[in-house]
Amino acid sequence: MSLSLVKRCIVITKKCVTKVQPRKKKPHKPSKPLLQRFRELSRRFRLFRLLVIRRINRLTRAVNRVTAAVNNLQEEVSALVASNESIKNLLLSRVGTTVSIETISGPVSGKLLGVGKDFAQILEPTGDNVLIPIINITSVNL
């Protein structure tokens, strides 16, 4: 290595070590006055609050519709259960007699052998034992 190259390296090294340039500061932007910023934030908050209130009202209306639908279904189920109980009580009084029962699948006739919690048992003239879910009974002919 030549002496001039070594001198250059030393000089460059000295420059890097000894002359640290301070960072240049960015020019300062004048900020909005505090009152103006407060008003802008207040306006945004009011808009956000209105949006949230509208969504809450929309959800409340939806919940009310669903609640009404559930109440209607509960009334229908209660009516079905009540009619099932009345059919069950009628069949219990007719055990051992010949009955004709209309179901959603068609008519079934024969001797009523028994009534369970949710079914009726009929012995058809052919000798077949038929279990009919009470919920499927549409009418009973005595």
- For the stretch 77-98, pLDDT in tens is 877 777 788 899 999 999 999 9
Q: For residues 142 and 135, what is the distance between their CA atoms, to the nearest angstrom?
A: 18
Q: Could you tell me which residues come within 8 angstroms of residue 110 by beta carbon, excluding any fewer than 6 positions away? A: 98, 99, 122, 123, 124, 125, 130
Gyration radius of the chain over CA positions: 45
Q: How far apart are CA 90 and CA 68, in angstroms?
A: 33
- Whole-model pTM: value is 0.48
Nearest to 141 by CA among 108, 119, 116: 108
Task: Output the pLDDT for position 6.
Answer: 47
Which parts of the chain register pLDDT below 70? 1-22, 27-31
Instruction: End-to-end CA distance of the chain: give it in Å, rounded.
Output: 125
Q: Report the SS3 class of residue 126.
A: coil
Q: Where are the domains of the chain?
A: 33-141
pLDDT score recorded for residue 20: 57
Angle at 22 between CA 21 and CA 26, to 5 degrees: 125
Thinking of the domain 33-141, which architecture would CATH place it in? Roll (2.30)
Residue 93, token pair as written in the block: 């009084």
